A and B are shown apart, each in its own frame.
Chain A
């Protein structure tokens, strides 16, 4: 009987390792400084996690198919610059478009998201139509998007000056809250939660979601099963682009500005969050709650270890160790038991 029990416990730990690590991390930090367990800290961690969650959820489907998107961060930057350039206060002195009338909030946001969606669609087209490995295709897109963003950013009269003076309604989106005081909830956190719910539904309750898991599980079998691989791949990358676009909008809104260097290497954080959250890099395996936990782990490390004064360079080493350990552990989970 004890044998079965210990096996059950072991199994439980294996299947929930990510959550256990997250909780242990929080307990550990709280042990050093109990003030860590406060509403303020919790809210800060959630705010820090919001855009990361959205980027990670975008890249989630791509990793499920066994692919990767290295252009995610640069797409975030492009969306941030576009949004910021189109939504500056009319009374701001160094405007990107000095004569642009005040646009309704939704319009620039949709433009930014649409541009990134197009970049994603192009990624998907190149991967699906020409069979270019996603690593290469999106590496190319990363450089192209950065180049295009920098050209746009360098247009006169802006000439590569940081874009500031964003209109109130945009910054409100990034920093505002529902309710006031201690228990207020930032809009940005709500948006991230909504995004997670939508992605969870797509992944688990729709034909598209099942197709994504199938393509990642065995692309040849998916083809034989009558799944249109090319179309699905294009939708997956385009959807990811839209998510990166949304994240870029929120980054601009949250920080109140944008430069062409926004979003640099955000894709690495997103990929790390996914793999730590149990999304198998070989495809076909992964869940939305895992991705959320993956993002939270890194936010807790960032925020929490700074909170208890751990040297930031040590934080990097800890992050790196967690990434590698998580994947090593995960591979053991799916490798045939000895």
Chain B
């Protein structure tokens, strides 16, 4: 059942479609929001920016009814509303596209869109779902948005980008006047981002306001009309996007001038080859094939490429998480077979996975357990018990060394910010004293300040003679950090660029080399 709002949201009478005034919200020990005001005009893209922990998510959760603010008021078209839960938010014309998509992957597109409000028909005394009407409504909706999607397609078989389109279509189907998009581009390829922007511009022209949350400043400058910046739960200010630059945004987000986005290059790779990979090929047809490269002692080797270039698959194979059908790996000149992470760890390798939440942290365990889990062997005493004193001491040392912000070692890791979680994972692997670190998108979903700290850790490690392979989809990061960049395209190696010669253009050329 689609709601008919005919004329209820009369845009012309109100300057703002949404006003959140003087919002405050306190959690035990944290003032998550402190007197924050956000005003959004209809038919505009309003970017909400700030480091992790700045209060963006909390503010949006208050708007969407997931949190109740301690004080403050929400006005929609000038009318004060109370939003107790997500359903009430939807009824008020507010919807949210979450960072992690919330679709039911086993069901088809139209069931996902109309879930909870299926069109019904009566046959005698019984009520059934009106499949035909649902199909037609969906078709109409998707056509209207110029989305080339079959309403009967199973969502789980679609790409992330198309699933996101379905969620946007769903938001539109609620006649939403405000759509919140939380990091919508985080798992999209460049082309898909362009497509997303087209959809956003189309929504704008229909008078829909978009609240756009993203860490990617270039994107914000491209798509946003206005930018509100938060820091430490407070509002820093709101500016028209046209008056902002990357540097201005960063300095306002972190509250200080950021002269450099990357630490100075200090790594001095030697000629000594620590890891040699020869003709590495996956048994999966569409995955990586015939990959050959050397990693030098003390080198930071970046791996560039577009989503789908099979970079993650490659380094997971190096770490023994995936099998290979042919090819050889030489570690310090010796041929090795790495068939389990345990073996890789024993050789002196470490892996920080791309999906921090899914394959990195143990959310319900505390910081100490998360830090020491890969290195417990070291603390086993003669009597087979663990040396807890040493474990705690090294835990504390790691927290200090990486300046991890945590109340104590006993704090559950799920209560830390993304950047600090990532630093805990660094600590976990540094305690194993690895020679080679494999880092898969190490700064993904991390705010600017913490990113710089991660870069510093990487560059310190290289200085100490550790070798690093890191995958990144952010080209400035590859160019700023890597001594050498290896670019992959559709599972194949398409070339190397040295850090000094690298430009976005030549990386992109290699990244698309084998594309039809």
Contacts and interface: CB of A to CB of B under 8 A. Distances in A.
Q: Do A and B bind each other?
A: yes
Interface of A: 7, 201, 205-207, 210-211, 213-214, 217-218, 220-228, 280, 284-285, 334, 336-338
Contacts of B365: 213-214, 217, 284
A228 B376 CA distance: 13
Contact of B27 (A210, A225, A337): A337
Given A226-B344, A284-B365, A210 B373 contact: yes
Interface stretch (B124-132, B205-213, B246-254, B383-391): B383-391
A337 B66 CA distance: 11
Nearest to A334: B364
A7 B29 CA distance: 12
Contact of B68 (A205, A285, A338): A338
Nearest to B387: A205
A206 B362 contact: no
A286 B202 CA distance: 51
Given A217-B362, A280-B364, A224 B386 contact: no
B471 to A, nearest CB: 15
Contact of B360 (A7, A224, A280): A224
Nearest to B67: A338
B369 A214 contact: yes
Contact of A225 (B66, B363, B384, B428): B428
Contacts of B346: 226
Contacts of B380: 206-207
Contacts of B169: none
Nearest to A217: B362
B351 A210 contact: no
Interface residues of B, number: 37
3 cross-chain pairs, A with B, having the tightest CB-CB distances, nearest first: A217-B362, A226-B345, A225-B374
Contact of B340 (A213, A220, A228, A285): A228
B214 interface: no
Interface of B: 27-28, 66-68, 319, 321, 340-342, 344-346, 351, 353, 358-365, 369, 372-374, 376-377, 379-380, 384-386, 388, 414, 428
A interface majority secondary structure: helix
B386 A207 contact: yes
A220 B363 contact: no
Contact of B353 (A207, A211, A224, A334): A224
Contacts of A222: 362, 373
Contacts of A7: 28
A285 B321 CA distance: 26
A338 B414 CA distance: 15
Nearest to A286: B364
B369 A210 contact: yes
B361 A221 contact: yes
Contact of B362 (A221, A228, A336, A338): A221
A338 B66 CA distance: 7
B385 A201 contact: yes
8 contacts: A210-B369, A210-B373, A218-B361, A221-B358, A222-B362, A226-B344, A227-B342, A338-B66
B65 to A, nearest CB: 11
A285 B363 CA distance: 10
B283 to A, nearest CB: 19
A249 B250 CA distance: 69
A224 B336 CA distance: 19
B363 A217 contact: yes
Contact of A224 (B321, B363, B369, B377): B321
Contacts of A224: 319, 321, 341, 351, 353, 359-360
B386 A284 contact: no
B360 A221 contact: yes
Nearest to B27: A337
A205 B385 CA distance: 5
Nearest to A283: B364
A269 B67 CA distance: 38
Nearest to A4: B28
A285 B364 contact: yes
